[in-house]
Structure 1
Amino acid sequence: MTSPRDPVDLSKLSTAELLAGALSEVSVADPDEPVPHLVALHARPTREVFDVAVRLVARDNPAERELGVRILRELGDHDVAGRRPFSREGIPLLIERLDREADPRVLGWVISALGYNRAREALGDVLRFVDHPHWRVRFHVATALPSLVDEERIEPHAAKALQLLCRDDEADTRYYALVALIEEASGVEPELITQTLTDLLNDPDEQIRELVAAQLSDGSPKHGPRESP
């Protein structure tokens, strides 16, 4: 007999049970809270789970839409190209959602989901939100862009967008935009990097100043973990 303290084997739960648990998890305001039911859904890349996620994305309740988007974000393992089992069907739906989503929290997850599915075809659509009025949306643009740009040489307008995000009001957005610009993107013009680093020498955020100093001193910055908004 299982005692109340025994861990539940989530893999044995029905999809409906996992969905109920995951909805409760994503409804919590703190995005750093564990989401074990959602993770279990990611490990179940079936047509049933995908179809449920698609239906959720169209719901009136923002929490349900968020759940649908976050299921699509990491549904199944990605291949060498960064695509997941349902990326081909899910990406157009996510791109369409960009113009329809009014909730900034959900919109941020839509942008993140495009990055996690390496939807390079969505680069232009995502760049439209680089100056969105809500910080959460701009943060997700900064973190998603490295997965949306050309791996060999970043598109100039994408590099400029990251430079702009390095001047954002929110320190988390500046930090991840800077990491993307100096560590994750290829082919960024040296002059753009130099100007960006110079602009951030006296940034009010200590971790950003340390990253800038490391880059200027030896060109090999090491960035540590930083909590997501």
Structure 2
Amino acid sequence: MAPSRGPVDLSELSTAELLAGALREVSQDDPDHPMPHLVALHGRPTREVWDAAVRLVARADPAERELGVRILRELGDPDDAGRRPFRGATVPLLVERLGHEVDPRVLGWVISALGYHHAREALRDVLRFVDHAGGPVRFHVAAALPALVDEGRAEPEAVRALQLLCRDDDADTRYYALVALVEEVSGVDPELITRTLTGLLDDPDEQIRELAVTHIGGG
């Protein structure tokens, strides 16, 4: 009997091997599925990995494009200013991708990646997708907006977008938009927040109802 092999040390794998494993992970289409190869790529912020991700973003296969975007999303740790390695080249590439991506799932990850890079310069590009037909796209808009708005006072168009997303068909999207509006962005008119919360007191989602009650009650 052959001796059993211990767990693989991902740090010893080549970039090509990590990419192959990460593509299998992304293709699982399971948010609870572990993604150790993708995480290992995030921890290897080299030009080789960045170039490989950029090539993937241009591929015909949506799974490959998704992998490329998800690598760029968290490639390297942010510095004290929240800037990740290669940000200067990554953000324009992602903004350009917004105008070409046709797969809703991949488009959602592009928007998410812009949020992870705190790409405030891309706010208006992202706001174009607030009423996109694809649910994953609208979800990622709601989740990304707090990282894209002015820290001192959220832009009025971003506030209106969050209000709209608070009425989305998808409960997760409504929840993320509501949290953003009442807890994460600054400078929102308190009366507007109260009206939004009041309109969600009878929301079908228990988590949203509880959040609305908590904030109306000042908790």
TM-score by length of 1: 0.93
CA distance in 2, matches of 1:51, 1:2: 38
Corresponding position of 1:225: none
Corresponding position of 2:17: 17
Residue aligned with 1:204, SS: coil
Tell me which amino acid in the other structure corresponds to 1:104. Answer: P
1:1-229 equivalences under 5 Å are 3-4=4-5, 6-219=6-219
Tell me which amino acid in the other structure corresponds to 1:76. Answer: G
CA distance in 1, matches of 2:163, 2:123: 16
Residue aligned with 1:218, SS: coil
* Aligned CA distance change for structure 1 residues 2 and 109 (closer, same or farther; 3 Å): farther
Residue aligned with 1:75, SS: coil
Q: CA deviation at 1:184?
A: 0.7
Q: CA deviation at 1:2?
A: 7.4
TM-score by length of 2: 0.97
CA distance in 2, matches of 1:54, 1:22: 15
Give the CA RMSD over aligned residues. Answer: 1.2
Q: Which runs of 5+ in 1 are unaligned?
A: 220-229
Equivalences, count: 218
Corresponding position of 1:226: none
Q: Which runs of 5+ in 2 are unaligned?
A: none
Q: CA deviation at 1:3?
A: 2.8
* Identity value in percent: 75
* Aligned CA distance change for structure 1 residues 131 and 2 (closer, same or farther; 3 Å): farther
CA distance in 2, matches of 1:105, 1:169: 17
CA distance in 2, matches of 1:141, 1:214: 24
Structure 1 stretches of at least 4 aligned residues deviating more than 2 Å after TM superposition: 1-4
